[in-house]
Amino acid sequence: MITFWTVVLGLAILLYVILDGFDLGVGMLFAFAPDETARRHMLAAISPVWDGNETWLIFAASILFGAFPLVYATLLSALYLPLMIMLAALIFRGVAFEFRYKSRGLRPLWDVGFAGGSLVAGFIQGCAVGALVEGLAIQDGKYIGGPFGWLSPFALLCGVGLCLGYCLLGAGWLTYRTARDSQELAFRLLPRLLLAVLAFLVVAFVAALGLDLRVMHRWLEAPLLTVFPLIGLAACVVLFTAVRRRQELVPFFCGVAIFAAAFATLAVSFYPYMVPFSITVADAASPPASLSFMFWGAGLFVLPLTLIYTLVVYFVFKGKVDPDAEYH
């Protein structure tokens, strides 16, 4: 039961990172849109699905709360200020979808809110991952690091890295969903973003070696872990050629593969810890009565159903966008 919910939690986080990742990425790229038409195309590329995408964040938080309440309580309270700022950013970004079409004079404000909100949300999520990798100050299951315990150069570096990664996903989505201006922009940016992501990974790796992080020892001890980075590298190569051949859907899936590889690397190097290296999966797990209550209803029926109708919705909105015909 614990393993089941660990896997589901992992999947929910991965799905969130990929799905909201691409729409946050489009949000950041939104700032580079040449004109209103391109902006409309970009928005239309994500507006029917962003809401569902963001739900996976709530999914992850709910599974954490229900199945691993100790981690939920420790992590969320330790990251108090960054999370509050991330929530404010997500609010701005969420209302911008509705508000920018309803307003003329203040449209620039909502545009800034949309792009800025996406940027801040992505940046803070990256910082959180960085802080986790570096290790939060936790003693006897209690956080003792203070309000800015998460803040470090390494965390900030990871924040930048995740933004770049989200942009990569977003650009991949744009080449698939849009045409002309914004597709052009995406094709132009993709190789640069890829290089930037690779550069970040190298810098992060070197920085981690320099910081002598515990996670690094695990990597050096178990060379099998390199399987995932190699898959990621292969995806990079495919992405590069896809952009040169101007294939429309391949770049997005390459981005997904890169993220999945990075995520798997992290997950495998942390396991069995959930908050590295202080709280294990077993420490954090809810009593069996809670886990099985969630399993028999949610795990067995609702989650598969959710995946199915998420796919249905993506199927409904497949193909190129036509913002003029679609917007209400």
Partner 1 sequence: MDMPALLLSRIQFAFTVSFHIIFPAFTVGLAAWLAFLEALSLATGRPVYRRLFDFWLGIFGVAFGLGVVSGIVMSFEFGTNWSELARRTGPIQGPLLGYETFTAFALEAAFFGVLIFGRKRVPRWFYLVACILVAAGTSLSAFWIMVNNSWMQWPVGFTLRQDGVFVPTDWFAIIFDPVVWVRFPHMFLAAYVTTAFCVAATGAWHLLRDSFKSDARTMLHMGLGLAAVLIPLQLLFGHLVGDYTHDKQPAKFAAIEARWHDEQPASEVLMAWPDPGHERNLYEISIPYLGSLIASMRFDSKEVGLATFPPSDRPPVLIPFFAFRIMVGCGLLMLALAWFGTYLVVTGRLERMRWFLWATFCSFPLGFIATLTGWFTAEVGRQPWTVYGQLRTADAATPFLTSPQVATSLVIFAAVYALIFLFGAIYIYQLLRRGPVVLPAFESAATNPKRPLSMSGGSPGVPAPTPASEISE
Residues in region 126-145 near partner 1 by CB under 8 A: 142-144
- The residue among 57 and 239 lying less far from partner 1, judged by its C-beta, is 57
Under the binding rule (CB under 8 A), the answer on residue 280 touching partner 1 is: no
- The residue among 49 and 215 lying less far from partner 1, judged by its C-beta, is 49
Binds partner 1 (CB under 8 A): choice among 1, 83, 156, 260: 83
Under the binding rule (CB under 8 A), the answer on residue 321 touching partner 1 is: yes
Under the binding rule (CB under 8 A), the answer on residue 4 touching partner 1 is: no
- The C-alpha atoms of residue 8 and residue 75 are separated, in whole angstroms, by 19
Could you give the angle at which helices 80-102 and 107-134 cross, rounded to 10 degrees? 160
Under the binding rule (CB under 8 A), the answer on residue 94 touching partner 1 is: yes
Residues 293-312 that bind partner 1 (CB under 8 A): 293-294, 297-298, 302-303, 306, 309-310
Under the binding rule (CB under 8 A), the answer on residue 278 touching partner 1 is: no
- The C-alpha atoms of residue 288 and residue 5 are separated, in whole angstroms, by 11
Under the binding rule (CB under 8 A), the answer on residue 318 touching partner 1 is: yes
Under the binding rule (CB under 8 A), the answer on residue 175 touching partner 1 is: no
**78-84 contacts: CB < 8 A, separation 24 or more?**
78/136, 78/138, 78/143, 78/145, 78/149, 78/150, 79/128, 79/131, 79/150, 80/147, 81/147, 81/148, 82/124, 82/127, 82/128, 82/150, 83/124, 83/128
Binds partner 1 (CB under 8 A): choice among 18, 24, 39, 74: 74
Show the tokens assigned to 120.
């801040």
Residues 23-42 that bind partner 1 (CB under 8 A): 40-41
